[in-house]
Amino acid sequence: MKKKLTHIFSDHHSSPPPSSSSSSSSPSSTSSDHDQARSPFKDESYVSSMLSYLFPSNESISKKDEDDYIEPMQLKSIRCGKTIISKQDNEEQLQTARGTSSCDVFVDAIDLQTPKKYIPDQNLDSVFITSELYQFFQSCLPNIVKGCRWVLLYSTVKHGISLRTLIRNSYDLPGPCLLITGDTKGAVFGGMVNSPLTPTPQRKYQGTVQTFVFTTLYGPPTLFRPTGANRYFYMCLNDMLAFGGGGSFALRLDGELLMGTSGPCDTFGNQRLAHNDEFELKNVELWGFTHSSRYHS
């Protein structure tokens, strides 16, 4: 292409201008006009240079690319945590290393599926709560109180034997309350209520489907949730606190918190929670919850 254009330009400007009244024109005038016409292209080297600039050859492009080429950086050995990244000679490995953050690749992976291990609060002053029982509660308590700090609202050891005191102390914190008690033969049992206890003048059931009862009588802690057979979740009077109904109470405590009864009921589909139908209470505790995290990963 360049050679053709050079030839065209050379032929065009080397040809003499058309003659008009040549007989009357002087030789000097003709020579001057011809020189002016060829002044922008005095020689072929100038044209060749211009065309080389406009239409670079493949050889010049290749040479320029070679001049502009930068050798890719080679990775050296880098220590990151417990992992050593060795030198990479492979181009594909280089691109992978450049496109991925070292922190994302080499930081030890965390198993997100591993459940949190809940550690009992060191301030839990309880006659009943063991590490096993605490883990059990964390799996069955409502989500609104999981991870919260436990607060002892009532204990017969500290506050005396009185259901009225237990009811009054349940208002120290809003939200759900957990009742824990046991018999003198070692069984631990109780139930969950969804709010502070409110005594009614007549027998009237309260609660929601969040209410449940539990026991350790049969080995590991066993949970009994509402079956949907009825809505007899719990009943609170000034002289009685009972869970469930339909057949018998799942758990009933008297006004002095000294004696209790337990049996199968339709509300929770439970078995007897204590060793006997009637039993002496070992202790009674009522726990509330505040939104202050006390667990560790």
pLDDT tens figures, 136-167:
999 999 998 988 899 999 999 999 999 999 99
Phi, psi (deg, nearest 5) at residue 165: -65, -40
Q: Quote the CA–CA distance of 40 and 293 in Å, as a whole number.
A: 88
Of the candidates 211, 209, 195, 216, which has an alpha carbon nearest to the alpha carbon of residue 273?
Answer: 216
Q: Helices 2-14 and 44-54 meet at what angle, rounded to 10?
A: 150
CA distance 180 to 189: 6
- Cα gap 170→234, rounded to integer Å: 15
Rounded distance, CA 69 to CA 91, Å?
16
Tell me the whole-structure pTM to 2 decimals. Answer: 0.60
Which pLDDT value is given to residue 75?
44
How do residues 79-128 score in pLDDT, each as one tens digit?
444 444 444 444 555 455 454 444 444 333 334 444 444 445 555 789 99
Q: Is 19 helix (H, G, I), strand (E, B) or coil?
A: coil
- At residue 95, the pLDDT reads 53
Contact partners, residue 34, CB within 8 Å, separation at least 6: 16, 17
Give the pLDDT confidence score for residue 101 in this predicted structure.
44
For the chain, which ranges sit under pLDDT 50? 12-42, 62, 64, 75-90, 94, 97, 99-119, 293-297
Give the phi and the psi of residue 59 in degrees, each rounded to 5. -65, -40
User: Residue 4's pLDDT is what?
Assistant: 53
Q: What is the pLDDT of residue 54?
A: 60
